[in-house]
């Protein structure tokens, strides 16, 4: 099994700004991806996006790319995305299916 | 150990930047974060290229650790302040190394890089160079490192704490959800392990919960304070976070980190594995 070149052999986040690694099989993977934007509609880089499962349990967290992009490899089902940033926070629920699930996530100052 | 000796706040860190005898170290698996801006004056350690042996499947030995810290300009008497991304996973892993090799003064910044970012504190892109030292690591303290055989022997005997996500514990996922699920291992967990995801110990800004809340989290999960404890995850870094909580914040005796973790255990021939959300029987 090949390891995608932009994903190191650890638990840390892959390079969020990269396109999907060549080895990813979208017949099997459930990818949840999107862009974090602020109230003005501008992309927010450096935001922390957490993936919570249907019970609200923390599952994973990534940092958005300079273009505000985040990406998770999850499983089909209901998930909550929560973004934290120096510009504010935001939440979104998504019902994910196999393949690529694209979402938009807005943050607003508290 | 306690919160006062093992942890500093981001505020304390900012006030102590540039203080002689204090070395700030960012530890990450992806050091592009450091290169894009780091705590002013901090040096970096790369979890993979600096802290893992390039050939054997193990982390750096006593001599390699001495050489690394000497080159990076860390002295035996320095107070090392660690921080990093991923809610301090890799910083906690490095903390465990520093303790394993007998460094006296080492602390984590509570909340790590995330808290620093959410507080909108300053970054620097300046290259940081420190004069070389003659660092001497001590012999490894194996009272905090668990190996596979003792993990198998601990089934049903010691506290085994699986700190991965519930889906990884149950065998529904093989890796954290921000990684592709293709790294093939057998799924599941070590029988009798309790599931306490590392994230239960942290607030969403990455700081640790209060000692009182932490004690309740592990007590409610069934951790027996009269028994020795082994924590594990997938590759040993999230379990370093939990090891830090149990040993350094709550002050429990005899807590080990099993750094081989599920990548090793889930590849062993013949060892018992439990599936599903329950700990399972010995």
User: CATH number of the domain that A87 lies in?
Assistant: 2.60.40.10
Residue of A nearest to B235 (CA): A10
Quick one: which H or E segment has residue A60? strand A58-63
Q: Does A100 touch chain B (CB under 8 A)?
A: no
State whether B177 and A72 contact (CB < 8 Å). Answer: yes
Q: Using CA atoms, how far apart are residues B166 and A41, in angstroms rounded to an integer? A: 35
Residue B220 has pLDDT above 90, yes or no: yes
- Domain span at A66: 5-14+30-99
Amino acid A19: pLDDT: 66
Which are the contacts of B56, defined by CB distance < 8 A and separation ≥ 6? none
What percent of chain B clears pLDDT 70, i.e. is strictly above it? Answer: 97
Total domain count, chain A? 1
Inter-chain CB pairs, A–B, below 8 Å: 110
Catalytic residue among B190, B230, B233, B245: B233
User: B165 vs A85: CB contact, 8 Å cut-off?
Assistant: no
Mean per-residue pLDDT of chain B: 94
Chain B residues with CB under 8 Å of A86 CB are 117-120
Q: Give domain status of residue A92, yes or no.
A: yes
Residues 6 or more apart whose Cβ sits within 8 Å of residue A63: A13, A16, A46, A47, A48, A49, A70, B33, B85
Q: Which among A8, A50, A61 has CB closest to B48?
A: A8
CB A98 within 8 A of CB A68: no
- Please enumerate in sequence order all residues whose Cβ is within 8 A of that of B208, keeping only pairs 6 or more positions apart, or say none: B3, B7, B110, B201, B202, B214, B245, B249
Residue B206: closest C-alpha in chain A: A48
Across the interface, do A61 and B167 touch by the CB < 8 Å criterion? Answer: no
- The backbone torsions φ and ψ at residue B20, rounded to the nearest 5 degrees and listed phi first, read -60, 140
d(CA A100, CA B225): 45
In a domain, residue A57? The reply is: yes
Q: Is residue A70 part of a domain?
A: yes
Provide, as residue numbers in chain B, all residues whose Cβ is less than 8 Å from the Cβ of A88. Answer: none
Answer yes or no: is A36 within a domain: yes
Report, as an integer, the average pLDDT of B167-171.
91
Note the pLDDT of residue B167: 85
Domain annotation covers residue A77 = yes
Calculate mean pLDDT across residues B27-33: 84
Active site residue B233: yes
User: What distance in Å separates the CA atoms of residue B169 and residue B262, rounded to the nearest whole number?
Assistant: 10
pLDDT given at position A4: 35
Lookup result for tokens 């004056």 = B41
- Which chain A residues are closer than 8 Å to B177 by Cβ? 51, 59-60, 72-75
- The pLDDT of residue A28: 82
pLDDT at B234 over 80: yes
- 44-63 in A: which are within 8 Å (CB) of B? 46, 48, 50-51, 53, 57-63
Residue A83 within a domain = yes
CB count, 10 Å around CB of B215?
18
A14/B contact by beta carbon, under 8 A = yes
The yes-or-no verdict on residue B62 having pLDDT over 70 is: yes
ipTM: 0.75
Nearest CB to B29 within list A12, A23, A50? A12
pLDDT-based confidence at residue B106 (cuts at 50, 70, 90): very high
pLDDT reported for residue A110: 73
Give per-residue pLDDT as tens, B257-274.
Answer: 999 999 999 999 999 999
**pLDDT exceeds 80 at position B183:** no
CA pair distance B245, B251, nearest whole angstrom = 8
Please write the tens of the pLDDT for every residue from B6-17: 999 999 999 999
State how far the Cα of B113 lies from the Cα of B127, in Å rounded to an integer. 18
Q: Could you tell me the maximum CA-CA distance found in chain B, to the nearest angstrom?
A: 54
CB-based contact, A98 to chain B, within 8 Å: no
Q: Which stretches of chain A drop beneath a pLDDT of 70?
A: 1-19
pLDDT at B221 exceeding the cut of 90:
yes
Residue with tokens 């909580």: B245
Are residues B180 and A21, on separate chains, in Cβ contact within 8 Å? yes
pTM of the complete model: 0.88
Nearest CA in chain B to A20: B180
Q: What is the dihedral of CA B122, B124, B125, B128, to 10 degrees?
A: -150
- The Cα B70–Cα B266 span in angstroms is 36
Averaged pLDDT for residues B209-213: 97
Would residue A109 count as lying in a domain? no
A14-23, A24-33, B112-121, B167-176: which has the highest mean pLDDT?
B112-121
The answer to whether the beta carbons of residues B238 and B163 sit under 8 Å apart is yes
Any domain includes A108: no
Integer Cα distance of B246 and B248 in angstroms: 6
Angstrom CA distances, B165 to A42, A61, B24, B194, B229, stand at: 32, 12, 30, 12, 19
């Amino acid at each position: 099994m090949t390891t995608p070149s932009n994903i190191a052999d650890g638990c840390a986040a892959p390079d969020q700004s990269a396109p999907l690694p060549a080895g990813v099989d979208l017949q099997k993977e459930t990818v949840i991806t999107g862009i974090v934007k602020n109230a003005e509609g501008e992309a927010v880089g450096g935001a922390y996006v957490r993936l919570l499962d249907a019970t609200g349990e923390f599952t994973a967290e990534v940092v958005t790319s300079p273009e505000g992009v985040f990406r998770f490899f999850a499983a089909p089902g209901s998930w909550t995305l929560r973004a934290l940033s120096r510009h504010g926070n935001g939440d979104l629920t998504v019902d994910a299916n196999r393949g690529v699930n694209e979402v938009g996530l807005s943050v607003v100052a508290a | 150990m306690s919160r006062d000796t093992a942890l500093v706040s981001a505020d304390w860190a900012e006030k102590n930047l540039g203080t002689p005898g204090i070395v700030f170290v960012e530890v990450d698996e992806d050091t592009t974060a450091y290169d894009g801006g780091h705590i002013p004056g901090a040096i970096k350690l790369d979890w993979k290229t600096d802290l893992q042996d390039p050939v054997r499947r193990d982390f750096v030995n006593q001599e390699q650790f001495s050489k690394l810290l000497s080159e990076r300009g860390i002295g035996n008497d320095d107070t090392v302040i660690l921080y990093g991304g991923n809610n301090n996973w890799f910083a906690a892993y490095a903390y465990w190394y520093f303790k394993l090799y007998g460094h006296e003064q080492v602390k984590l910044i509570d909340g790590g890089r995330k808290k620093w970012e959410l507080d909108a504190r300053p970054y620097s892109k300046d290259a940081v160079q420190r004069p070389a030292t003659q660092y001497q690591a001590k012999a490894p303290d194996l009272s905090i490192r668990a190996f596979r055989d003792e993990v198998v022997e601990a089934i049903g005997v010691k506290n085994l704490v699986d700190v991965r996500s519930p889906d990884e514990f149950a065998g529904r996922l093989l890796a954290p959800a921000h990684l592709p699920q293709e790294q093939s291992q057998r799924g599941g967990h070590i029988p009798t392990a309790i599931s306490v995801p590392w994230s239960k110990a942290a607030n969403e800004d990455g700081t640790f919960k209060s000692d009182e809340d932490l004690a309740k989290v592990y007590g409610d999960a069934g951790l027996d304070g009269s028994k020795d404890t082994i924590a594990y995850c997938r590759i040993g870094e999230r379990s370093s976070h939990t090891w830090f909580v149990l040993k350094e914040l709550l002050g429990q005796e005899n807590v080990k980190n099993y750094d081989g973790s599920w990548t090793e255990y889930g590849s062993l021939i013949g060892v018992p594995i439990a599936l599903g959300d329950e700990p399972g029987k010995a």
